Structure 1
Amino acid sequence: MNVKLRVLSAGALFFIGQVAFAQATKNDSVPSKPSKEQKIEEVVVLGYSKTATKASSTAASTTISAETLENRPNTTFLNSLQGAAPGLSVNSSSGSPGSGKIDILIRGVGSLNASTDPLYVIDGLSSSSSQFRNLNPNDIETLSILKDAQATSIYGNRGANGVVVITTKFGKYNSGLKVSYDALTSFSQYPKPSYNLANAKELLKIQQIYGQGGKGVGMSDDDINNYSTDTDWTKELMRVGMTQQHNLGLTYGGENLSVFTSVGYLKNEGIIKGTDFERFTFRNNINGQSKNKRFTYSAQLAAAYSKRNQLDQEANATALAGNIAQDVLLGAVLGDPTLPKYPYRNGAEMFAAIGQNSAAYRPYVLYDNMIGGVRNLYAETSVNANLRGSYKITDNLTFTNRLGIDFKEEDRTFARSPLGYLSNSVAASTLAKYGGIEILSNFKDLTINNVSNLTFNKSFGDHDLTVAAYLDYYKGHYLSKSQTQNGLDPLLWSFGAGKGYIPFSASSPSFYQPSVSASKINAGTFAAFGTVDYDYAGRYGFSGTLRRDATYRFDDKNKWDTFWSVSGRWNIDKEEFMAESKFRMLKLRASYGTQGNQNIQVATNNQNPSYLRPLQYIDNYTSTPSIGGYQNLYGYLFSKGNADLRWEKQSMANIGLDFNYNGIVEGTFDVYQKTTDRLINNIAISAGLGNGFNIIGNNGKLENKGIEASLRGNIIRKQDIKLSVWANGAYNKNTVKALPKEDFTGNNVQAIGGPAYQWYLYQYAGVNQENGELLFVGKDGQITETPTVDDRVATGKSIFPKVSGGFGVDLDVKGFFFNAMFSYQSGGWINDNMESWLLNPAYATLGINVSKDLLNAWTPDNTNTDIPSLTANNQGQEDDSDRYLHKTDFVRLKNVAIGYNLSKEMLRNLPVRSVKVFLQAENLYTWSKWKGFDPEPITQQSLSVYPNPKVYSVGVNVEF
Structure 2
Amino acid sequence: MRKLIGLFVFLTFVGMQICFAQTREITGTVIDKNDKSPLPGVSVLIKGKSAVGTATDVNGKFSLKVNETDVLVFSFIGMKPQEIAVRGKKSLQIEMEPTTEALEEIVVIGYGSGKKIGTIVGSVTKISDDKLKARPSANAMDALQGQVAGLQVYTSSGEPSAASSVYLRGVGSLTAGNAPLYVLDGIPVTSNVMTTMNSNDFESITVLKDASATSIYGSRAANGVIYITTKKGKKSEKAILTASGQYGFSSLANKDICSPMNAKQLLDHQLKYNIISQEKYDEYSASGVDTKWVDYFFEKNVPTYQVNVDVTGGGEKTSYYISGSYFYQEGTAPMSDYERYTFRSNTDSQVKDWLRIGTNLSGSYSITRNSGYTYQGSNSLNGGIFGTILNPPYYNPYDEQGNKLDVIPGLNRYSPDFLLKKQPSSSNRALFNGMVYVELSPLKGLKIRSQAGMEAYDWRSTAKRLPSYPSSLGNGQTTERFARNVMRTITNTIEYSFDINELHKFTVLAAHEGVDSKYQEFGSRTSGQNDDRLTMLESGTTAQLLSKDYNDDSAYAYLSFFGRIDYSFNNKYFADFSVRNDASSRFGKDNRHATFYSGGLMWNVKNEDFMENANFLSTLKLKGSVGSTGNSSIGNYDHLALVGTSQYNTQSGWIVSSPGNPQLGWEKQVLSNVGLEVGFIENRYRLEFTYYNRKTKNMLIEVPVPYTSGFETIMQNIGEMTNSGVELTLGLDLVKNNDWFVGLTATYSYNKNKITKLFYGYQEWPMPSQTLTYKVGEPLQFYCAKYAGVDPADGAPMWYVPGTNETTKEYGDHLDQATGYTRYAPHSGGINVNARWKGLSVSADFSWVAGKYMLNNDRYFAENPAAFAGYNQSKRILNMWEKPGDRTDIPAFGHVMQFDTHLIEDASFMRLKNLTVSYEIPKNWLKRQNVINAVRVFANGRNLFTITDYMGADPELDTNLAYGAYPNSRQYSFGAEITF
Q: State TM-score, norm by structure 1.
A: 0.88
Displacement of 1:659 after TM fit? 2.2
User: In structure 1, what is the equivalent of residue 464 of structure 2?
Assistant: 415
Displacement of 1:313 after TM fit? 5.7
* SS of residue paired to 2:195: coil
User: In structure 1, what is the equivalent of residue 12 of structure 2?
Assistant: none
Q: Which amino acid counterpart does residue 115 of structure 1 have in structure 2? A: G
Q: After superposition, give the CA deviation of every residue in 1:756-808 in whole Å (9 maximum; x if it has no partner).
A: 44111222122111111112222221122113333322122123111111112
Which of 767, 791, 794 pairs up with 1:745? Answer: 767
Contact 1:210-1:841 within 8 A present in 2 as well: no
The 1:26–1:391 alpha-carbon spacing in structure 2 relative to 1, beyond 3 Å, is: same
User: In structure 2, what is the equivalent of residue 598 of structure 1?
Assistant: 632
Contact 1:187-1:953 within 8 A present in 2 as well: yes
Q: Which moves more between the two structures, 384-393 or 932-941?
A: 932-941
Q: Which amino acid counterpart does residue 786 of structure 1 have in structure 2? A: E
Displacement of 1:667 after TM fit? 2.8
The 1:798–1:731 alpha-carbon spacing in structure 2 relative to 1, beyond 3 Å, is: same
Q: After superposition, give the CA deviation of every residue in 1:713-771 in whole Å (9 maximum; x if it has no partner).
A: 11111101111111111111111111114322315333333554411122212211111
User: In structure 2, what is the equivalent of residue 929 of structure 1?
Assistant: 949
Which of 480, 483, 490 pairs up with 2:531? Answer: 490
Contact 2:237-2:313 within 8 A present in 1 as well: yes
Contact 1:485-1:513 within 8 A present in 2 as well: no
Q: Which amino acid counterpart does residue 790 of structure 1 have in structure 2? A: H
Which of 565, 570, 587 pairs up with 1:554? Answer: 587
User: In structure 2, what is the equivalent of residue 624 of structure 1?
Assistant: 646
User: In structure 2, what is the equivalent of residue 267 of structure 1?
Assistant: 328
Which of 772, 796, 804 pairs up with 1:773? Answer: 796
User: In structure 2, what is the equivalent of residue 525 of structure 1?
Assistant: 558
User: In structure 2, what is the equivalent of residue 327 of structure 1?
Assistant: 384
Which of 888, 891, 897 pairs up with 2:907? Answer: 888
Count, aligned residues: 880
**Within 5 Å, which residues of 2 pair with 1:732-811?**
732-740=751-759, 741=762, 742-746=764-768, 747-753=770-776, 755-779=778-802, 780-811=804-835
Which of 446, 452, 470 pairs up with 1:397? Answer: 446
The 1:37–1:753 alpha-carbon spacing in structure 2 relative to 1, beyond 3 Å, is: farther
Q: Which amino acid counterpart does residue 528 of structure 1 have in structure 2? A: F
- Distance in 2 between residues matched to 1:136 and 1:923, nearest whole Å: 21
The 1:862–1:218 alpha-carbon spacing in structure 2 relative to 1, beyond 3 Å, is: farther
Contact 2:773-2:780 within 8 A present in 1 as well: yes
User: In structure 2, what is the equivalent of residue 678 of structure 1?
Assistant: 698
**Within 5 Å, which residues of 2 pair with 1:286-325?**
286-292=347-353, 294-312=354-372, 317-318=376-377, 321-325=378-382
User: In structure 2, what is the equivalent of residue 59 of structure 1?
Assistant: 122
User: In structure 2, what is the equivalent of residue 19 of structure 1?
Assistant: none
User: In structure 2, what is the equivalent of residue 16 of structure 1?
Assistant: none
* SS of residue paired to 1:711: strand
* SS of residue paired to 2:766: coil
Which of 146, 149, 158 pairs up with 1:95? Answer: 158
User: In structure 2, what is the equivalent of residue 169 of structure 1?
Assistant: 231
The 1:365–1:842 alpha-carbon spacing in structure 2 relative to 1, beyond 3 Å, is: farther
Contact 1:452-1:471 within 8 A present in 2 as well: yes
**Within 5 Å, which residues of 2 pair with 1:531-542?**
531-542=564-575
User: In structure 1, what is the equivalent of residue 207 of structure 2?
Assistant: 145
The 1:119–1:443 alpha-carbon spacing in structure 2 relative to 1, beyond 3 Å, is: same
- Distance in 2 between residues matched to 1:745 and 1:123, nearest whole Å: 41
Displacement of 1:567 after TM fit? 0.5
* SS of residue paired to 1:817: strand
Displacement of 1:218 after TM fit? 4.3
Displacement of 1:693 after TM fit? 4.3
* SS of residue paired to 1:152: helix
Which of 451, 458, 481 pairs up with 2:491? Answer: 451
Q: After superposition, give the CA deviation of every residue in 1:305-344 in whole Å (9 maximum; x if it has no partner).
A: 1101112367x654xx23122533x234223323221669
Contact 1:484-1:515 within 8 A present in 2 as well: no
- Distance in 1 between residues matched to 2:965 and 2:406, nearest whole Å: 28
User: In structure 2, what is the equivalent of residue 481 of structure 1?
Assistant: 522
More strand by proportion, 1 or 2?
2
User: In structure 2, what is the equivalent of residue 72 of structure 1?
Assistant: 135
Q: Point out where structure 1 has 5 or more consecutive residues left out of the alignment.
A: 1-22, 428-432, 505-511, 601-612
Displacement of 1:520 after TM fit? 1.6
Contact 1:843-1:850 within 8 A present in 2 as well: no
User: In structure 2, what is the equivalent of residue 13 of structure 1?
Assistant: none
Q: Which amino acid counterpart does residue 108 of structure 2 have in structure 1? A: V
Contact 2:212-2:625 within 8 A present in 1 as well: yes
Q: State TM-score, norm by structure 2.
A: 0.86
* SS of residue paired to 1:368: helix
- Distance in 2 between residues matched to 1:785 and 1:401, nearest whole Å: 70
2:392 maps to 1:336: yes
The 1:95–1:718 alpha-carbon spacing in structure 2 relative to 1, beyond 3 Å, is: same
- Distance in 2 between residues matched to 1:455 and 1:917, nearest whole Å: 44
**Within 5 Å, which residues of 2 pair with 1:867-878?**
867-872=890-895, 875-877=896-898
* SS of residue paired to 1:906: helix
User: In structure 2, what is the equivalent of residue 464 of structure 1?
Assistant: 505
- Distance in 2 between residues matched to 1:33 and 1:722, nearest whole Å: 19
- Distance in 1 between residues matched to 2:579 and 2:624, nearest whole Å: 17
The 1:126–1:861 alpha-carbon spacing in structure 2 relative to 1, beyond 3 Å, is: same
Q: Point out where structure 2 has 5 or more consecutive residues left out of the alignment.
A: 1-49, 58-74, 80-98
Contact 2:159-2:370 within 8 A present in 1 as well: yes
2:918 maps to 1:899: yes
User: In structure 2, what is the equivalent of residue 508 of structure 1?
Assistant: none
- Distance in 2 between residues matched to 1:928 and 1:580, nearest whole Å: 49
User: In structure 2, what is the equivalent of residue 369 of structure 1?
Assistant: 419
Q: Which amino acid counterpart does residue 335 of structure 1 have in structure 2? A: N
Contact 2:524-2:545 within 8 A present in 1 as well: no
- Distance in 1 between residues matched to 2:540 and 2:262, nearest whole Å: 44
2:319 maps to 1:258: yes
Contact 1:921-1:950 within 8 A present in 2 as well: yes
User: In structure 1, what is the equivalent of residue 872 of structure 2?
Assistant: 849
Q: Percent identity?
A: 27
* SS of residue paired to 1:70: coil
User: In structure 2, what is the equivalent of residue 32 of structure 1?
Assistant: 76
Which of 931, 956, 965 pairs up with 1:945? Answer: 965
Contact 1:55-1:571 within 8 A present in 2 as well: no
Displacement of 1:26 after TM fit? 4.1
- Distance in 1 between residues matched to 2:504 and 2:122, nearest whole Å: 20
User: In structure 1, what is the equivalent of residue 623 of structure 2?
Assistant: 589
Displacement of 1:273 after TM fit? 1.9
Displacement of 1:38 after TM fit? 7.8
Displacement of 1:624 after TM fit? 2.1
Greater RCO (CA < 8 Å, at least 6 residues apart): 1
- Distance in 2 between residues matched to 1:56 and 1:179, nearest whole Å: 34
Contact 1:485-1:515 within 8 A present in 2 as well: no
* SS of residue paired to 1:201: helix
The 1:705–1:786 alpha-carbon spacing in structure 2 relative to 1, beyond 3 Å, is: same
- Distance in 2 between residues matched to 1:795 and 1:633, nearest whole Å: 47
- Distance in 1 between residues matched to 2:102 and 2:493, nearest whole Å: 26
Contact 2:112-2:509 within 8 A present in 1 as well: no
The 1:693–1:943 alpha-carbon spacing in structure 2 relative to 1, beyond 3 Å, is: closer
Contact 1:173-1:255 within 8 A present in 2 as well: yes
User: In structure 1, what is the equivalent of residue 4 of structure 2?
Assistant: none
User: In structure 1, what is the equivalent of residue 674 of structure 2?
Assistant: 655
Displacement of 1:221 after TM fit? 5.6
The 1:513–1:867 alpha-carbon spacing in structure 2 relative to 1, beyond 3 Å, is: same
The 1:861–1:786 alpha-carbon spacing in structure 2 relative to 1, beyond 3 Å, is: closer
* SS of residue paired to 1:311: coil
Pairwise CA RMSD: 2.5
User: In structure 2, what is the equivalent of residue 200 of structure 1?
Assistant: 263
Q: Which amino acid counterpart does residue 364 of structure 2 have in structure 1? A: A
User: In structure 1, what is the equivalent of residue 720 of structure 2?
Assistant: 701
2:309 maps to 1:248: yes
Contact 1:758-1:798 within 8 A present in 2 as well: yes
